Structure 1
């Protein structure tokens, strides 16, 4: 009997062992590789709560994205997104077996150890985001055997060794961010000519030495900021950096660079902060002049000896000096007389220029007022602005001052006043003009009004707060002009209209250019810009009026947020704001014939009189914009009721559709129905939009979270 029972136990054991083994074997090879990641994490984590080895595929697991691949019977893993989950442990080499993995996003965790070289076997990988971990060791040279690698962010880890020469093999690399590590040695020069698509380079906060390679000047696609700050770089700044695009900002501070800052090309666009904490640097835009020190050094020992004057001056020389003195006195007298009459003429001409140039007479045509100048002189107020902007004209008390906020745009006041100007639109937020400067560069000029004479300091403080906002998806303020009878804002001109016209057209017809990928790019860029305004700008701005007409587009359909901070400026100048707004605008930005109602985009609590604007208002408005991008429908204001807390029809309509499980084809813009492959992406954006448009402000996410969630879609 005992023997029979033992045999029965063996049979039961074999059954369960075999069954369990078969369950594990039923999991796809991608799933087994992911289980290796789960095992490599030091402590159990809720991030892996639904990672069950009994599932046939890992496609339903949290943080995992799959896609159908041609020639593959089952969906394959294409994305891992486990950022900010508090994961520790190491990165297993099995991740390299994920042949179709496109995006690995493990940033903001606590992974340690080395980056496994076997990761280069995941040949479909195009984005590797491992920033803000504790990874160490050298950057594997095999990493650039990944043929599709576009985004590499290893910043804020503990990587050591040199910047690998093998980076030159990353032919498709667009973003290289290695900041905040322990990289040492010189920056290799041969890498950069091989990276024609690089748009972002950040090697800051390392231990790099040597000089800046001339070859970095060959990065013709670079944009944003070239950041080499907080290293130990030495030598002269290569003049070749002046060949970089004019939109590139330099950050070379806190190094050991020396010599004169070159004055060619892109260097003319840089402010002094780009070169701070380099004691041996001199020249513009720093206040340290090179000429004086150079002259002192060039003097030989004999030149420093006192001149022997015992022999006295000859009579002929005395006569010559007397004649010269008389001529100088006469010349000074003529100059004084000329300046006096010139100033009188200028004072009489200024009011004419302002009235004709930025007055109310313009009817949409060209207004040219030439031959006059309101500039009485040029002054530099370095004590007040630390060299970050220049003041032209005026008396220092807010009278006739043109303040150039940065060096990215060089022009004179009389050039601005005499240039051809085109009236683009009028609203409660001012008249807007397109002005083409003498060098052919167009700018947008907004005329705010004539009030606020006694509030110059308050106005200037607000403008400078707006000017400190520098983000690729926010319209850049370049200068302003203040006088008792005139206030102007000069900003970048964005050339391709606004989102309202791109969605609905000027005659109500949608643009044929807005494919799904374009719409998703606009949504992502707008979210990044708004997140920056909320989280990173000096004032942590609340925009308060997010809507399609305030989302401007360039020729590549990159979005730019406009009109932030204007209501405060309008209140200072004494005007009454209304629903318009064209900061950075142009003729294509003007509102379409289908009137856009501002309340259609406002949060329910924003319609209650007396409520102060909050960032959650912007989140709601952005959600409505997302719904318009998805559906192609313009939101209409809710019917007038006794309550002002009603939500727009569009939000209610979409929520009702999801509650009733209506087909997605009934809600999405018909022009997108041909793009069947993006159904999952469209659905994901719908969910983001519905989260943003929650009625309870506390239930809405921060814009930072919204931006991060959108960035995960379609990558």
Structure 2
């Protein structure tokens, strides 16, 4: 991805636009559109965290100088709201027909970009790092004044429209990291001012135009395995047809697996049969084997669910290999001996999405840092040679699963995409070694934020942030339950250490479904204080048990007391729900709440409301617990009007828009 626009760049751009902008006159003397109303509807649709509520709720968008809004002659000409975790469609922005600059990069916006075709005065358009889907519309040709087009790192599919050639003023086109297919149009003659072009990491096919390759370099087209042309791309004579080259996916049997919504993952399971260096013999063999295996994949997903029941027969294998700082696998890239093909091409990293950025050897050479050991495996932070960072989980106790069931199950896990779920990016299978590759989330876990460094100098986790993290985790878990409502597949391991925080302070649940690879008896024993009462006898995982575990997580967030790790239900001092019930049996009391929360003012009602949600979740009878969609609604209804301490934005931590000061500074309150 190219560099993002800096505040100085945007300032200069605004100044430049002022020089050649003229007042906008509505056609036929009609009144100006209600742009304030359009922006208000945009806020209501996308600002789930209330970040824009500060001054977007009063006055006129221009006269009140709304955050990120710039105006000329009373018309909105600039909207710059990057990295605010905005989520939802941008349909309402179609009413801003005098908009010149739109910068919404690094949010979670989704839907189609077609509504922007009505913003015919746009000159700078920055939408990278969102979740936009669908095709790039041919109507983009209406943006005749466009200079910069950056819609990279989204989920856009289809062909690159030839209508882009009509945007003759374009200086930048960035379409990398999408799911675009088809051939690369030759814009050389039509776009003489084009200085920056990037089509890398898509699914483009066919011959690469020589002039574009010479003009913009090989890196602008890297990561498109089916492109051919001049070196370093393969000779086009070696690839019979783009269609054949794209069909390297080995699909799971759709009748044997739970279905997911199409919107959840528009770029799934693109397993390339060759690298950018060309089509190899091993790849051809893999394609043939893949087509055969596709016909034989009739094993039900239920088999994957129960494959872990055989773990007791392989206890010795579950402990194979020791943790190594720079090497996750004692078997390297070798094959396995579980009765499947020993072809070495089968023992490579398998990427869930289309972007294959590195090989297994790159991962094994990476600088690795141990992040922690959990019930399901050991997690490392791996820094690759190109500087990118991923999280690698080395599974334990999953060895009894045969390759076929494991791969089917990874397909199911990998399909799940949601802003509050850590996505599975790739996996590696060998009989004695299984690795999972995820995005690396730099802000750690809810567990570490709650319980880490409780001494002097600690930055307390403030109330606004706790509600935000709880809501994000609830939404992620609700998505799991809704996606697999028919098959009742649970998360299976809900706890605070599995709620991770991304660079924008958004909570994402991790480890979805991994517990189902193991023997349920072993899994429930490891749940500790998050284990539902019925699991003591049934030893089964369920969505209702997930709700109970989430309720314990909410109690942990409110009390800052970790649940019992032993899971002994008769240990009242360690059983968090029992302890809370004993304290609040007669009336709600401040003794329950984390002392760090008691420093804030006027949040007692909100804390009590959250406590009520938690107690509903940890009801003893499973049928009386709410479902996760109801839990999400209950948390959303807890209104947080403002930060408890009212700090200025400039003094807050990047983790949270309302993170309190350190303990040392708190003595002033």
- Alignment TM-score, normalising by the size of structure 1: 0.53
Match of 1:696 in 2: 621
CA–CA distance in structure 2, aligned partners of residues 691 and 146 of structure 1: 46
Match of 2:516 in 1: 568
Match of 1:432 in 2: 379
Q: Using a 3 Å threshold, how does the CA distance of structure 1 residues 286 and 197 change in structure 2: closer, same or farther?
A: closer
DSSP-derived class of the 1:670 partner: coil
Match of 1:469 in 2: 416
Match of 1:616 in 2: 544
Q: 2:131 aligns with which of 225, 229, 247?
A: 225
Match of 2:155 in 1: 250
Q: 1:535 aligns with which of 467, 482, 496?
A: 482
DSSP-derived class of the 2:353 partner: coil
| Kept after mapping to 2: 8 A contact 1:127/1:150 | no
**Is the counterpart of residue 128 in structure 1 residue 44 in structure 2?**
yes
CA–CA distance in structure 1, aligned partners of residues 400 and 142 of structure 2: 47
Unaligned stretches of 5+ in structure 1?
1-115, 132-141, 153-164, 296-338, 341-357, 377-393, 581-596
Match of 1:33 in 2: none
Q: 1:615 Cα deviation (Å)?
A: 1.6
**Is the counterpart of residue 404 in structure 1 residue 332 in structure 2?**
no
Q: How many residue pairs align between the two structures?
A: 465
DSSP-derived class of the 1:660 partner: coil
CA–CA distance in structure 1, aligned partners of residues 354 and 39 of structure 2: 45
Residues 670-685 of structure 1 aligned to structure 2 (within 5 Å): 670-685=595-610
Match of 2:102 in 1: 192
CA–CA distance in structure 2, aligned partners of residues 236 and 456 of structure 1: 51
Q: 1:143 Cα deviation (Å)?
A: 6.8
Q: Using a 3 Å threshold, how does the CA distance of structure 1 residues 289 and 250 change in structure 2: closer, same or farther?
A: same
Match of 1:631 in 2: 559
CA–CA distance in structure 2, aligned partners of residues 119 and 189 of structure 1: 13
Match of 2:587 in 1: 661
**Is the counterpart of residue 606 in structure 1 residue 535 in structure 2?**
yes
Match of 1:547 in 2: 495
| Kept after mapping to 2: 8 A contact 1:257/1:278 | no
Q: 1:499 aligns with which of 446, 458, 462?
A: 446
CA–CA distance in structure 2, aligned partners of residues 130 and 399 of structure 1: 43
CA–CA distance in structure 2, aligned partners of residues 373 and 406 of structure 1: 23
Q: 1:455 Cα deviation (Å)?
A: 2.4
| Kept after mapping to 1: 8 A contact 2:177/2:202 | no
CA–CA distance in structure 2, aligned partners of residues 365 and 496 of structure 1: 22
Q: Using a 3 Å threshold, how does the CA distance of structure 1 residues 280 and 683 change in structure 2: closer, same or farther?
A: farther
| Kept after mapping to 2: 8 A contact 1:211/1:233 | no
1:267-324 superposed Cα distances (whole Å, 9 cap, x missing partner): 443234xx699999999633542548999xxxxxxxxxxxxxxxxxxxxxxxxxxxxx
Q: Using a 3 Å threshold, how does the CA distance of structure 1 residues 630 and 510 change in structure 2: closer, same or farther?
A: farther
Unaligned stretches of 5+ in structure 2?
1-32, 48-58, 188-198, 213-280, 283-317, 336-340, 642-669
**Is the counterpart of residue 270 in structure 1 residue 178 in structure 2?**
yes
Structure ID, larger Rg: 1
CA–CA distance in structure 2, aligned partners of residues 470 and 424 of structure 1: 24
Q: Using a 3 Å threshold, how does the CA distance of structure 1 residues 549 and 266 change in structure 2: closer, same or farther?
A: farther
CA–CA distance in structure 2, aligned partners of residues 192 and 478 of structure 1: 30
Match of 1:588 in 2: none
CA–CA distance in structure 1, aligned partners of residues 542 and 495 of structure 2: 16
CA–CA distance in structure 2, aligned partners of residues 120 and 398 of structure 1: 56
Q: Using a 3 Å threshold, how does the CA distance of structure 1 residues 626 and 491 change in structure 2: closer, same or farther?
A: same
Match of 2:195 in 1: none
CA–CA distance in structure 2, aligned partners of residues 118 and 414 of structure 1: 54
CA–CA distance in structure 2, aligned partners of residues 407 and 284 of structure 1: 8
| Kept after mapping to 1: 8 A contact 2:492/2:515 | no
CA–CA distance in structure 2, aligned partners of residues 210 and 396 of structure 1: 54
| Kept after mapping to 2: 8 A contact 1:688/1:706 | yes
Q: 1:523 Cα deviation (Å)?
A: 0.8
| Kept after mapping to 1: 8 A contact 2:423/2:439 | yes
Q: 1:216 aligns with which of 99, 116, 125?
A: 125
CA–CA distance in structure 1, aligned partners of residues 182 and 528 of structure 2: 46
Match of 2:206 in 1: 289
| Kept after mapping to 2: 8 A contact 1:451/1:484 | no
Q: 1:661 Cα deviation (Å)?
A: 1.5
1:230-273 superposed Cα distances (whole Å, 9 cap, x missing partner): 965345999955586xxx4233559966579x9x997443234x
| Kept after mapping to 2: 8 A contact 1:523/1:626 | yes
Q: Using a 3 Å threshold, how does the CA distance of structure 1 residues 276 and 147 change in structure 2: closer, same or farther?
A: farther
DSSP-derived class of the 2:460 partner: coil
Residues 577-616 of structure 1 aligned to structure 2 (within 5 Å): 598-611=527-540, 613-616=541-544
Q: 1:468 Cα deviation (Å)?
A: 1.6
Q: 1:190 Cα deviation (Å)?
A: 0.8
| Kept after mapping to 1: 8 A contact 2:79/2:101 | no
Q: 1:461 Cα deviation (Å)?
A: 1.4
Residues 439-518 of structure 1 aligned to structure 2 (within 5 Å): 439-448=386-395, 455-505=402-452, 511-518=458-465
| Kept after mapping to 1: 8 A contact 2:392/2:435 | yes
Q: 1:517 Cα deviation (Å)?
A: 1.6
Residues 356-435 of structure 1 aligned to structure 2 (within 5 Å): 365-367=325-327, 399-408=346-355, 410-426=357-373, 429-435=376-382
1:620-650 superposed Cα distances (whole Å, 9 cap, x missing partner): 1111111111111223377656xx9x99732
Q: 1:454 Cα deviation (Å)?
A: 7.9
Q: 1:186 Cα deviation (Å)?
A: 10
| Kept after mapping to 2: 8 A contact 1:527/1:707 | yes
CA–CA distance in structure 2, aligned partners of residues 151 and 606 of structure 1: 51
Q: Using a 3 Å threshold, how does the CA distance of structure 1 residues 414 and 433 change in structure 2: closer, same or farther?
A: same
CA–CA distance in structure 2, aligned partners of residues 528 and 678 of structure 1: 23
